[in-house]
């Protein structure tokens, strides 16, 4: 009999009535009725009862520790949380919990008291994936609306649609059909470039540029942060006047160049003028490749927690290699 441990964290799936209270893990599982199936040994961990926007780094670090211990004991895992930050939890678990066991993150878009509530169907599909031998070795997965996404690609793409999760630039790995997972694609290797840890005290800023930005926030970053991800224009562009401040910052801390577009990789040498990707990479910024800015922030955070920063500065080659590990060039 397959063993699956379900961690409930709150979110819409547990937000009956929409007020501040969240259902218990037992109540969330009870919504499934008999749909867990007789062949499943389900253990419940009522971990948190919060909107996912209120999950802290401390919560996520503790969750990763518990998930690591659970998979080491031979159980598959389903994490149930709100969808707002679901892709970030899933990617962080992917970085911190390298395992062959299926680890699946799911949630719901419609409250349990609304017509067409999707929580029970998503939970049933997530349990099926977490219990399936064919879903081992895929890294952490996101399962909603019967689609199976890799955590590194999954993105909440719509505020209300039940099919909100997409994998821009890649596509889902598979689907759950008639209750059975069907895997069509496998990710190229593990997400983590090496063993990574996560120190909640590390501070990585995310700055999304918008037209006319004068860079005033960069002073605060310099004073208070250990690293920066810039969600830049297009394939990795900033206004010419931000090159000097960003280059000065990159001498002191890692500055990762990501794209605010939502899909596709940062370029390296298509544009060469001031503020181009070529300019910025030659001034010390690290390319995020296809990694979304919010995920680049978590990877940089984990790297800085794992020895990529020391008294003598930061280990730029190691940080660049970790981002390159996820950019697909390793396959060439």
Residue 10 CB, nearest approach to ligand ASP (Å): 6
Choose the binding region for ligand ASP from 7-15, 90-98, 166-174, 319-327 (rule: CB under 6 A). Answer: 7-15
Query: Applying CB under 6 A, which of residues 12, 89, 99, 167 lies at the interface with ligand ASP?
Result: 12
**Number of other residues whose CB lies within 10 A of the CB of residue 310:** 8
Cβ proximity to ligand ASP: between 11 and 102 the closer is 11
150 φ/ψ angles, rounded to the nearest 5 degrees: -75, 140
Which token pair is 254?
Answer: 């890692």
CB 142 within 8 A of CB 90: yes
From the number of C-beta atoms within 10 Å of its C-beta (0-12, 13-18, 19+), residue 271 rates as middle
How many angstroms separate the CA atoms of 151 and 172, rounded? Answer: 10
Which of 164, 159, 160 is closest to 149 using CA atoms?
164
11 lies in the site for ligand ASP, by CB under 6 A: yes
The residues near 9 (Cβ < 8 Å, ≥ 6 apart) are: 47, 48, 49, 50, 52, 55, 59, 63, 79, 80, 81, 82, 89
Which of 109, 96, 188 is closest to 144 using CA atoms?
109
Residue 79 CB, nearest approach to ligand ASP (Å): 13
Number of residues that bind ligand ASP (CB under 6 A): 10
From the number of C-beta atoms within 10 Å of its C-beta (0-12, 13-18, 19+), residue 98 rates as middle
25 lies in the site for ligand ASP, by CB under 6 A: no
Q: Which residues pair with 229 in a beta bridge?
A: 206, 256
Q: Which residues pair with 65 in a beta bridge?
A: none
Cβ proximity to ligand ASP: between 57 and 271 the closer is 57
82: three-class secondary structure by DSSP:
coil
Q: How far is CA 312 from CA 125, 309, 316, in A?
A: 48, 8, 12
Cβ proximity to ligand ASP: between 58 and 219 the closer is 58
How many angstroms separate the CA atoms of 225 and 253, rounded? Answer: 8
- Region for residue 139 given its phi and psi (left: phi exceeds 0; alpha: psi -120 to 50; beta: otherwise): left
Query: Applying CB under 6 A, which of residues 15, 232, 280, 304 lies at the interface with ligand ASP?
Result: 15
120 lies in the site for ligand ASP, by CB under 6 A: no
99 lies in the site for ligand ASP, by CB under 6 A: no
Cβ proximity to ligand ASP: between 82 and 120 the closer is 82
Choose the binding region for ligand ASP from 48-56, 94-102, 244-252, 303-311 (rule: CB under 6 A). Answer: 48-56
Task: Count Cα atoms within 13 angstroms, Cβ side, for 139.
Answer: 26
Active-site choice (12, 36, 83, 99)? 12
215 lies in the site for ligand ASP, by CB under 6 A: no
Residue 133 CB, nearest approach to ligand ASP (Å): 31
Cβ proximity to ligand ASP: between 27 and 84 the closer is 84
Residue 110 CB, nearest approach to ligand ASP (Å): 10
Query: Applying CB under 6 A, which of residues 25, 51, 287, 290 lies at the interface with ligand ASP?
Result: 51
CB 126 within 8 A of CB 143: yes
Cβ proximity to ligand ASP: between 84 and 327 the closer is 84
Residue 82 CB, nearest approach to ligand ASP (Å): 2
12 is catalytic: yes
Cβ proximity to ligand ASP: between 50 and 173 the closer is 50
Query: Applying CB under 6 A, which of residues 52, 89, 106, 305 lies at the interface with ligand ASP?
Result: 52
Choose the binding region for ligand ASP from 45-53, 160-168, 188-196, 306-314 (rule: CB under 6 A). Answer: 45-53
CB 134 within 8 A of CB 39: no
Kindly identify the residues of this chain, within the stretch 63-82, that bind ligand ASP according to CB under 6 A. Answer: 82
Q: Which sequence positions are flagged as catalytic?
A: 12
Q: Which residues bind ligand ASP (CB under 6 A)?
A: 10-12, 15, 51-53, 82-84
């Amino acid at each position: 009999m397959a063993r699956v441990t379900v961690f409930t964290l709150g979110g819409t799936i547990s937000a009956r009535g929409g007020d501040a209270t969240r259902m218990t893990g037992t109540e969330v599982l009870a919504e499934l009725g008999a749909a867990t199936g007789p062949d499943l040994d389900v253990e419940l961990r009522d971990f948190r009862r919060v909107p996912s926007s209120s999950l802290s780094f401390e919560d996520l670090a503790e969750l990763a520790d518990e998930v690591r211990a659970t998979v080491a004991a031979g159980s598959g895992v389903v994490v149930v949380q709100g969808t707002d930050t679901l892709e970030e939890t899933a990617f962080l678990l992917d970085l911190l919990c390298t395992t062959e066991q299926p680890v699946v993150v799911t949630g719901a878009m419609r409250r349990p008291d609304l017509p067409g509530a999707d929580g029970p169907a998503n939970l049933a599909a997530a349990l099926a994936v977490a219990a399936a031998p064919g879903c081992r070795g895929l890294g952490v997965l996101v399962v909603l609306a019967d689609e199976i996404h890799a955590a590194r690609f999954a993105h909440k793409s719509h505020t209300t649609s039940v099919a909100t999760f997409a994998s821009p630039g890649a596509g889902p790995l598979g689907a759950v059909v008639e209750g059975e997972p069907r895997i069509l694609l496998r990710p190229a290797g593990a997400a983590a470039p090496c063993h990574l840890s996560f120190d909640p005290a590390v501070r990585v800023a995310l700055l999304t540029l918008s037209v006319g930005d004068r860079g005033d926030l960069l002073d605060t970053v310099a004073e208070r942060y250990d690293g920066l991800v810039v969600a830049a224009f297009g394939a990795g562009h900033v206004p010419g006047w931000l090159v000097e401040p960003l280059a000065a910052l990159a001498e002191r801390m890692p500055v990762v160049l990501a794209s605010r577009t939502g899909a596709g990789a940062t370029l390296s040498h298509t544009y060469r003028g001031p503020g181009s990707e070529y300019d910025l990479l030659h001034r010390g910024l690290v390319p995020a490749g296809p990694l979304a800015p919010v995920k680049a922030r978590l990877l940089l955070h984990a790297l800085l927690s794992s020895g990529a920063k020391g008294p003598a500065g930061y280990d730029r080659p190691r940080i660049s290699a970790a981002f390159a590990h996820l950019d697909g060039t390793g396959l060439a």
